[in-house]
Amino acid sequence: MSMTLKTAIICSLLAAILAFFYWSPVFIASSDKEVSSFKKPDTQADYYFENVKIETFDASGFRLNQIVAQKIEHFDSTKTSEIAAPKVIAYSESDAQWLINAAHGKVNHQSEEIQLEGSVKLTQTAQYQLTSPTTTQIDVDDLSISLNQNTATSENGVKILSGNYYTTAKKLNAQLKENTISLSGQVVSSELESELQK
């Protein structure tokens, strides 16, 4: 092999290596198209996905929850993802499901938890009550969800409207799969019809 050919091969390999480290891929899930861009500062996402749906199943194959988001930005340095306008559907062993909406969410991939913030609203309609289904709505400032355990907690004030009853509390602990909720800290409940008659 001539010296000129060896030099050309070495230069080509060096150029390929430099190009690999110089460009950082950004993936857009909605179009299945890979887009290259310059490397960004640490404050910006390493890559992002648009129109995303993520599902979590337990060992038996039961679907625990589903996350739908307009956009997810992932940060390799902190092993976290920022979610814009997330919608979480938590499935229970009964026919009832929880729909959870928030303005913003953050996923910690090491603990497999999602922290929801900004007008967090949990809504459930008990479909098994065929004659007069009861809708339960819970409003909290923030909510932490364990994706593997399908549990949710909040410690900054809870407001619940279920049927004709309005309840407030300090803390919420929900077992979403079992469809049970525990409240603690200054729990106060009142009947709305009674309040209107006063």
pLDDT in tens, 136-187: 899 999 999 988 888 899 998 999 998 888 999 999 999 888 888 899 988 9
Q: Which residue has the higher pLDDT, 27 or 95?
A: 95
Question: Does residue 197 carry a pLDDT above 70?
Answer: no
**120-124: Cβ within 8 A, 24+ apart:** 120/154, 122/98, 122/152, 122/174, 123/98, 123/99, 124/96, 124/97, 124/98, 124/99
Question: Does residue 129 carry a pLDDT above 60?
Answer: no
What is this structure's pTM? 0.68
Structure tokens at 2: 């001539």
Q: Which CATH class is domain 46-197?
A: mainly beta
Q: Which of 5-9, 150-154, 190-194 has the lowest mean pLDDT?
A: 5-9
State which amino acid sits at residue 87: K
E strand or H helix at 67, and its extent? Answer: strand 63-75
Task: Provide the residue ranges of all domains of the chain, joining segments of one domain with +.
Answer: 1-39, 46-197
pLDDT in tens, 57-88: 888 888 888 888 888 898 888 889 899 899 98
Which residues sit opposite 50 in a β-bridge?
71
Tell me the pLDDT band of 43, cut-offs 50, 70 and 90.
low
Report how far apart the first and last C-alpha atoms of the chain are (Å, whole number).
99
State which amino acid sits at residue 174: A
Q: Which residue has the higher pLDDT, 157 or 34?
A: 157
Question: Does residue 104 carry a pLDDT above 90?
Answer: yes
